[in-house]
A and B are shown apart, each in its own frame.
Chain A
Amino acid sequence: MLQGHQSWVFDKHPVIISTGVAGGPFEAAGALADDFDILHDDTWLGQESFEKAEKKLLEEACEKAIDKAGMKKEDVHFFLSGDLMNQIISSSFAARTLGIPYLGLFGACSTSMAGLAVASFIINAGGASHVLAAASSHNSSVNKQYRYPTEYGAQNPPTAQWTVTGAGAALVAAAGEGPRVTGATIGRIVDLGISDPFNMGAAMAPAAVDTIEAHFRDFNVDASHYDLIATGDLGRVGHNIAGDLLIKHGVDIPEDKFTDCGLLIYKDNQPVIAGGSGCACSATVTYGHLLNRMRRGEIKRILVVATGALLSPLSYQQKESIPGIAHAVVMEREGD
């Protein structure tokens, strides 16, 4: 199963038998609204706090994924989930509701693919027949924790990104119909010394490039192997930096094949500054939009490279730089 230095190949081809994707009002007004299963017109979701609203989004996405597969919670062996809140409360509290044996993950916005990679590994190794992998974020809870509460009215610089309010869940199974997970590359921390939490894209771009290079090396493939290579949430600033870095390193990815979930999710006229971010960014875009495109046959093999900025509010206040990470997962249309 180990492929090269830091990758796994899943020879038993775990299947994503269903996905659940939930979003808020800003996502409902976005470019990919049709790819969401559940959309809310209220960022509070009728809850008392934004943190509770985020937990609710995650629960809804998970329940939707289980429901679409025609299964019950009891049929799922393990639940792997993560988010951006301190002590990943959204995931743990959603796990309390779901009652599925649970492993919490923290990979910041890279959690979606970290979860999918580990879930696929467990399935491939025969450790379970059904594993649910999920991630969530909420614009208001994240702003409160990492930046400033919206009501504080602090200005955002042009490099700032808009945290996606939403959650995405994928139910991975040993057998069934759906896109197959065939490989994964686990990233290492890359930190080039950027310490500005309003410029996460730039902080994460080198990590994305490092993981893409490692993936190509481990699997002995190049960009032509994929119909699409999507990074998680680099946004406009980070996407351009990653593009430049790839050219500098001699890695050729044609522009029409290389995209970023943070650039896809919103419309141009939405005030998202440099693009979307957050755990839910790659989770909702991958489990909604990208897999829908794959189901329609528009794309056959994709590489999703979810990027994470592993800072904490405390590390930022102590003037620490931002460690970046990226995990890549290969998804393929079945039968091709």
Chain B
Amino acid sequence: MEKYLIAFVIGGTICVIGQIMLDVFRLTPAHMTVTLVVTGAILGGLGLYEPLVKFAGAGASVPISSFGNSLVKGALSEAKSTGLVGVLTGIFEVTSAGISSAIIFGFLASLFFKPKG
């Protein structure tokens, strides 16, 4: 039960930060999303995001900041095994499933549905 509570609080806190960026700092939705991704990437690079995921579980792995962490994680691990070029080849290593499914399901949805307006 405690696990759920921690996931809710941490995940909720990340969302509140996003909402504050929209409402108080008047960022556009795109700027807000990118800011969270970049923050996740920086925290991941500093080795701080993984401990957060261990602590909060889905509370930290579901929000978009986790995407930034995954980009860096893929790049770093590939760089370790293949050298500097690995930064380029590894960046979408971990995230490719998410990106590919976004494209494929987006495409499929557009075949069958019309925007409602």
**Which residues from chain A sit less than 8 Å from chain B, CB to CB?**
43-44, 50, 139-140, 148-152, 154-155, 157, 196
Contact = CB atoms under 8 A, between A and B. Distances in A.
A50 B117 CA distance: 8
Interface stretch (B22-30, B35-43, B55-63): B22-30
Contacts of B22: 155, 157
Contact of A196 (B26, B29, B116): B26
Contact of A150 (B23, B26, B29, B115): B115
A315 to B, nearest CB: 15
A196 B23 CA distance: 12
Contacts of B26: 196
Contacts of A149: 115
8 contacts: A43-B116, A140-B115, A140-B117, A151-B115, A155-B22, A155-B29, A157-B23, A196-B26
Contact of B116 (A148, A151, A152): A151
Interface of B: 22-23, 26, 29, 114-117
B16 to A, nearest CB: 14
Nearest to B110: A151
Interface of A is mostly: loop
Contacts of A154: 29
Interface of B is mostly: loop
Contacts of A157: 22-23
Given A155-B22, A157-B23, A148 B117 contact: no
Contacts of A148: 29
Given A44-B117, A150-B116, A196-B26, 14 more contacts: A43-B116, A43-B117, A44-B114, A50-B117, A139-B117, A140-B115, A140-B117, A150-B115, A150-B117, A151-B115, A151-B116, A152-B29, A155-B29, A157-B23
A155 B28 CA distance: 10
> Which 10 residue pairs of A and B lie closest in terms of their CB atoms, listed nearest first?
A140-B117, A43-B117, A154-B29, A151-B115, A150-B117, A155-B22, A139-B117, A196-B26, A150-B115, A149-B115
A128 B23 CA distance: 52
A139 B115 CA distance: 13
A292 B116 CA distance: 32
Residue in B29, B114, B115 with the greatest tally of chain A CB atoms within 10 Å: B115
A184 to B, nearest CB: 35
B83 to A, nearest CB: 39
B112 to A, nearest CB: 14
Contacts of B117: 43-44, 50, 139-140, 150
Contacts of A196: 26
Contacts of A44: 114, 117
